[in-house]
Chains A and B, each alone.
Chain A
């Protein structure tokens, strides 16, 4: 759905891009520890309370298990080890995202919020060191005063697949 946002990436790389809300574009904003992340609402399928996680043997550490969402088995990722945060406590909610026919869930602690693009909100290019450690982000979304990493579902899936491939290899 990248056509909904006018990105003028042809110009200078670090210059912030002004977002135009026509038609209004909305994001799902959630927290992991102290860090805020955003996912385009069109990519979110559902948010639900985790009743139970079914562990799968021989999974890479980024995956915590699978859950049954309306009859579909969805893998669940815990991004906290990737972000260098402790992952001891159990998380209560899961954000289920889709990319084409594939679905993936991120476990989170609190119920996410919904943010709508306003007139002065911008999308910035990710700093280099951040892009290195967080390969699933495509930029920094500034909505009002809140700065969130924009999660690109396809990259996330690629990262999970990559680690899965590494594990398999």
Chain B
């Protein structure tokens, strides 16, 4: 229909000129109406697409964000609870502390599964080479839970009754070590993954929002431009049709004027077969008959007057005044005027209806544009809300990271204090025992050295006696040698024996002298040893005093350990604050949902308006059909 209406604007369209006035007008108005319907349909399609997009953006970004936020919160609570388990020394406390861990772990995994279903759709929008995905997060969480299970297992083993105290302590140390190194690392990795994932979802949501906004702007532009084009097209077609028709009427009026002036030879030259064409043919026939029949002057004057009146009427109509009507008389002119009046009436009715339709269409287009603008504003608010929600979630992640840092530091320091206290305790005990042993050893040694001193005194007395004997022997031998010094063989041999005896005695004397010297050295060394032992004893006493001071130091360390427990309490309250922050996220997400619902309402309203426009077009068509019957 649109394609066929196009030649209507061209002056060369012969078949169009031959149409009657009503079909001509119906054709023109239908083309305008069709253009408007097409514009409306495009707008409707755009709005539906936008609604779908809004829905998907809400589903993907909002629920993904809430899932990740939930994962981060549950993970933080889990880690805090895990750090708490390491501080319990009684089995019942430990079991109470371990119980909530399974529930938290199940929550984390359930949220991760919920997120994965959303992420599959989000992945088609975001870049596929994303660094942080649900898979990497799941892997990090798996590692983290495996490590934490290992630490909990170590703690659980430390309460095994079959183990000795040292083995229990070793298992506890192993658990602490695992918590402070392995689990803390895994926890940091998981937190980084969750944060990265959150950033990625935020980028995707931002992209979706921008896409939706751009689409909304695009469709608003299409609606505005389409409405403008439709109005321009309607105006152009109306102007062309009316101009064509009035030109024919003016031509008939000119011919009527010439006839009225007396020129009965003038004839209207119109080739169209519409009402005006038929009027022109009738007018020409009338002029033919007038030329042949009007013989009398009176009749000619009357006819001239009638023609003049008709000319005035036609010129009025030509000026646009459709209220004028020709006088209906019994003669030929009356019949002619009656046909003319009917035509004018129908024409004016049609024009009025067209005008009203155009007004309503333009009004509808205005409403449509307003709605579209309102929708764009809502979309913008929606984007702002989502950005706020993201900011809150990001803050939550940061605060959780701080909590984990504090908890890690507290756990590490508490563990070090514990270890240092135990080591110090053992060292002090060992020092005290060593000092006791040293004291008794020194006392034994002093006793033995004194005994040795006494013995050496006895030895020196014995040696003195030996020396005296040796001296006497020597003296005897000497005197024997002197006696044997007389001349003679026997005395010389005797002298040799005496010399041997004397030399032996001299050797004994020498040996006893050396023995006495040695004994003197031994005695002085024994004295020195006793002095040294006494100094050692004094040092041992000083050591005992310092051990007592060390005991005081350990009392101080116990106070520090209590303060560390207070620190852990501070961590617990910090986690509670985190819960409040999570509530805020929930509220933000609710606001986001409200904005999305408002968008939906506006979309519905717009659709209703467009439906109204479609009904209007149908009414127009029905009205035109009514005229066709008459």
Contact = CB atoms under 8 A, between A and B. Distances in A.
A44 B482 contact: yes
Given A41-B485, A42-B485, A114 B475 contact: no
B485 to A, nearest CB: 5
Interface string B467-482: 0000110110011011
A111 B481 contact: no
B499 interface: yes
A68 interface: no
A45 B482 contact: yes
Contact of B478 (A24, A42, A112): A112
Contacts of B502: 114
A64 to B, nearest CB: 20
B506 A113 contact: yes
Given A113-B506, A114-B502, A93 B475 contact: yes
Interface string A36-67: 00000110111111000000000000000000
Contact of A47 (B478, B506, B509): B478
Interface string B227-239: 0000000000000
Contacts of A48: 475, 479
Q: Report the interface size class on chain B.
A: 10 to 19
Contacts of A111: 471, 474-475, 478, 509
A49 B475 contact: yes
Chain A: interface secondary structure? strand
Contacts of A114: 478, 481, 499, 502
Nearest to B499: A114
A23 B474 CA distance: 25
Contacts, number: 35
A125 interface: no
Interface in B453-488: 471-472, 474-475, 478-479, 481-482, 485, 487
A26 interface: yes
A49 B469 CA distance: 13
B313 to A, nearest CB: 184
B495 to A, nearest CB: 8
A153 to B, nearest CB: 14
Contacts of A23: 487
B485 A46 contact: no
Contacts of B487: 23
A148 B551 CA distance: 76
B479 A46 contact: yes
B329 to A, nearest CB: 195
B471 A47 contact: no
Contacts of B475: 47-49, 93, 111
A26 B479 contact: no
A144 to B, nearest CB: 15
Contacts of A112: 478
Contacts of A44: 482, 485
A46 B475 CA distance: 9
A84 B487 CA distance: 38
Nearest to A47: B478
A28 B502 CA distance: 13
Contacts of B474: 111
A48 B472 CA distance: 9
A41 B506 contact: no
A26 B506 contact: no
B479 A47 contact: yes
A38 to B, nearest CB: 14
Contacts of B492: 24
Interface string A82-93: 000000000001
B471 A41 contact: no
A26 to B, nearest CB: 7
Nearest to B474: A111
Interface in A1-49: 23-24, 26, 28, 41-42, 44-49
Nearest to B472: A49
B388 to A, nearest CB: 115
A41 B484 CA distance: 10
Nearest to A23: B487
Interface string B489-513: 0001000000100100010010000
B417 to A, nearest CB: 76
Contacts of A49: 472, 475
A28 B475 CA distance: 12
Contacts of A41: 481-482, 485
Contacts of B499: 114
A4 to B, nearest CB: 10
B19 to A, nearest CB: 170
Nearest to A42: B485
A93 to B, nearest CB: 7
Contacts of B509: 111
Max chain A Cβ within 10 angstroms of own Cβ: one of B481, B482, B506: B482
Interface in B157-203: none
A46 B482 contact: yes
A41 B499 CA distance: 13
Nearest to B506: A113
A3 B72 CA distance: 130
A26 B491 CA distance: 14
Contacts of A28: 478, 482
Given A47-B479, A111-B509, A114-B478, A26 B471 contact: no
A123 to B, nearest CB: 19
B411 to A, nearest CB: 85
B248 to A, nearest CB: 176
B472 to A, nearest CB: 8
A113 B506 CA distance: 8
Given A111-B509, A113-B506, A114-B502, A26 B478 contact: no
Max chain B Cβ within 10 angstroms of own Cβ: one of A28, A45, A49, A114: A114
B473 to A, nearest CB: 9
A25 to B, nearest CB: 10
B503 to A, nearest CB: 9
A42 B472 CA distance: 22
Interface string B374-414: 00000000000000000000000000000000000000000
A45 B509 CA distance: 23
B284 to A, nearest CB: 188
A68 B474 CA distance: 22
Contacts of B471: 111
B511 to A, nearest CB: 15
B430 to A, nearest CB: 60
11 contacts: A28-B478, A41-B485, A44-B482, A46-B479, A47-B479, A49-B475, A111-B471, A111-B474, A111-B478, A111-B509, A112-B478
The 10 A-B residue pairs with the shortest CB-CB distance, nearest first, are A111-B474, A41-B485, A44-B482, A47-B478, A111-B475, A114-B481, A111-B471, A46-B479, A42-B485, A47-B479
Given A28-B482, A47-B482, 6 more contacts: A24-B492, A41-B481, A42-B485, A44-B485, A111-B475, A111-B509
